[in-house]
């Protein structure tokens, strides 16, 4: 028995020592043309040839002077149709990296889990190559998963590599493994077919110029050391800054905005950078009052401090809570580009410079005096206000910190049944708590009540703020 792979002209593959009989060359060529039809498979010819040489085998059997040919088309990655762009990226070996990925087409498939591994193996009987269980570094945490469907049969994935995964890959490389690892996303069939595994190659680098321009940490703060800023009407609000950690290099473009008292709070989607969203959803982010714009070049050094708008531009007349938002716009960065045409879900390249795998938390301050609405005594609940509506995916509880307190206990209960939904202990000096997105699921009528209790060193109650009601509305 002789095995040979059909060549580009129907000839034998070099080095096999066998030839394909001339009678079978037309069959071989027709098979190649069917597999490599760009319009139906949306892949390039070189990529198709790579798949074709892996798929198509001729088994030539000589028996009683009769030559039989059997074309075997089977196994693992052989019928894979879902592809990704980019297929490989440089990542920071000593910290986090975030990359914008596009998959497609997803006909009769839905995305499932995604993991990082040092090696991949055939996924037989499924399609593609799956992570080798012995080399898995970790899987994408749910809190970092900002993936979503995109355009026609497309899927946008924000690959947020945690520092722990990068460290394990680096340690494996130090021990002699290859200095690259893989991000593998599984796609499950909706019609009972085999799953498809699609891999992206991650190459370890120093996180410099050839790494995608991504934000890995953003911290907003005032120039004063205060967890919650209280300002009297007419007084100047301190200057704002943003300490930014990033990979790669590029232009940081965007604007500072403020959410005024009484306006609807931004949802988690509104707090994402523009480059984190699929291109068709980027214009859907809600805009608020603009304070100033910025356009800064960030060199490949990994850290930058962005100075906020002039203090005179910050509103300070009307009493109530204010939210300062840092809105980062997508920039043109070749290393962060994703080509929609390469995966068959669009006509152009998507620029995704300044992508981030997390919502940028807003900075909050309060304007108020003796007439401000608050609980009596030193402990004051600030936000949400009583009976105020808030998006269920972006609830932030804030209160004024009091001196001489050991702990705060935040309690959230269902307004209808009175049963406790959440209880959290926070250290002295902390005056804010970002609520989990599942709070709405624990309420019977989309109404919750909350309070803060001060505790001393022995756990005894010092002061109770009293309850406030919050009405939950769907997030965006």
List the structure tokens of 236: 């100047």
Cα→Cα distances 214→210, 318, 332, 373, Å: 12, 37, 12, 41
Render 104-138 in DSSP notation, one character per residue: E--TTEEEEEEEEES-EEE-TTSEEEEEPGGGEEE
User: What's residue 80's pLDDT?
Assistant: 57
- Residue 445, helix vs strand vs coil: coil
Spatial contact of 210 and 197, defined as CB atoms under 8 Å apart: no
User: What is the pLDDT at residue 229?
Assistant: 77
pLDDT tens, the chain, 476 aa long: 333 344 433 333 333 333 444 444 444 444 444 444 433 344 444 444 444 443 443 333 333 333 322 233 334 334 558 999 999 999 999 999 999 999 999 889 999 999 999 999 999 999 999 999 999 999 988 777 888 888 778 999 999 999 999 999 999 999 999 999 999 999 999 999 999 999 999 999 988 888 999 999 999 999 887 656 788 888 889 999 999 999 999 999 999 999 998 888 888 889 999 999 998 899 999 999 999 999 999 999 999 999 999 999 999 988 888 999 999 999 999 999 999 989 988 888 999 999 999 999 898 888 876 433 333 346 888 888 888 887 777 788 888 877 678 889 999 998 888 889 899 998 887 888 888 878 878 887 888 999 999 988 888 888 888 899 988 876 54
How distant, in Å, are the alpha carbons of 127, 149, 169, 192, 197 from that of 186? 10, 15, 21, 15, 5
| Cα gap 181→172, rounded to integer Å | 10
pLDDT of res. 227: 59
User: What pTM was computed for the model?
Assistant: 0.68
Contact by Cβ (8 Å): 65, 179: no
> What 3-state DSSP class applies to 316?
coil
Rounded to whole angstroms, the Cα distance separating 309 from 293 reads 8
Cα distance between residue 308 and residue 292, in whole Å = 8
DSSP 8-state code for residue 263:
S
- 381-473 matches 214-338+357-367 in CATH topology: yes
Give the architecture-level CATH label for domain 381-473. Answer: Sandwich (2.60)
Topology (CATH level 3) of domain 214-338+357-367: Immunoglobulin-like (2.60.40)
Return the structure tokens found at 405: 């307190």
Look at residue 446 in the predicted model and tell me its pLDDT: 83
Domain boundaries, the chain: 2-73, 79-205, 214-338+357-367, 381-473
> What was the pLDDT predicted at 439?
81
Helices first, then strands: H and E counts in the chain: 4, 34
Q: Which CATH architecture has domain 79-205?
A: Sandwich (2.60)
- CB neighbours of 173 closer than 8 A, spacing ≥ 6? 93, 179, 204
User: Residue 34: its pLDDT value, please?
Assistant: 45
What is the Cα–Cα distance from 282 to 329, expressed in whole angstroms? Answer: 9
| Collapsed DSSP state (helix, strand, coil) of residue 437 | helix
């Amino acid at each position: 028995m002789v095995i040979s792979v059909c060549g580009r002209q129907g000839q034998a593959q070099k080095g096999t020592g066998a030839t394909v009989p001339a009678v079978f060359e037309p069959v071989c060529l027709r098979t190649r043309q069917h597999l490599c039809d760009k319009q139906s498979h949306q892949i390039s010819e070189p990529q198709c040839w790579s798949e074709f040489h892996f798929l198509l085998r001729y088994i030539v059997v000589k028996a009683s002077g009769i030559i039989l040919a059997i074309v075997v088309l089977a196994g693992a990655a052989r019928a894979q149709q879902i592809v990704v762009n980019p297929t490989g990226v440089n990542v920071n070996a000593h910290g986090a990296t975030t990359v914008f990925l596009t998959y497609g087409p997803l006909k009769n498939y839905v995305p499932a889990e995604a993991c990082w591994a040092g090696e991949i193996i055939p996924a037989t009987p499924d399609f593609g190559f799956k992570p080798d269980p012995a080399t898995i570094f970790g899987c994408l945490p749910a809190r970092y998963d900002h993936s979503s469907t995109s355009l026609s049969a497309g899927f946008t994935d924000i690959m947020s590599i945690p520092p722990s995964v990068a460290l394990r890959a680096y340690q494996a490389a130090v021990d002699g493994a290859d200095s690259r690892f893989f991000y593998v996303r599984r796609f499950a069939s909706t019609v009972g077919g085999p799953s498809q595994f699609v891999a992206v190659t991650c190459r370890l680098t120093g996180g410099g110029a050839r790494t995608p321009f991504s934000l890995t940490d953003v911290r907003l703060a005032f120039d004063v050391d205060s967890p919650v800023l209280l300002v009297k009407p007419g007084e100047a609000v301190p200057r704002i800054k943003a300490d930014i950690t990033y990979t790669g290099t590029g232009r940081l473009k965007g604007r500072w905005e403020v959410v005024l008292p009484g306006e609807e709070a931004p949802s988690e989607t509104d707090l994402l950078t523009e480059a984190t969203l699929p291109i068709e959803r980027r214009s859907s982010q809600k805009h608020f009052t603009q304070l100033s714009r910025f356009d800064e070049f960030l060199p490949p050094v990994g850290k930058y401090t962005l100075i906020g708008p002039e203090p005179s531009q910050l509103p300070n007349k009307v009493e109530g809570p204010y939210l300062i938002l840092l809105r980062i716009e997508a920039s043109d960065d070749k290393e962060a580009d994703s080509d929609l045409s390469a995966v068959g879900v669009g006509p152009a390249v998507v620029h995704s410079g300044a992508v981030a795998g997390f919502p940028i938390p807003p900075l909050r301050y309060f304007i108020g005096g003796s007439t401000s609405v608050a609980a009596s005594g030193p402990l004051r609940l600030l936000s949400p206000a009583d009976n105020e509506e808030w998006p269920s995916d972006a609830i932030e509880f804030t209160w004024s910190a009091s001196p001489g307190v050991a702990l705060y206990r935040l309690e959230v209960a269902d307004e209808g049944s009175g049963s406790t939904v959440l209880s959290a202990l926070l250290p002295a000096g902390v005056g804010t708590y970002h609520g989990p997105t599942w709070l709405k699921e624990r309420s019977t009528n989309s109404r919750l009540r909350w309070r803060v209790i001060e505790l001393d060193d022995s756990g005894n109650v010092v002061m109770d703020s009293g309850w406030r009601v919050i009405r939950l509305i769907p997030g965006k």
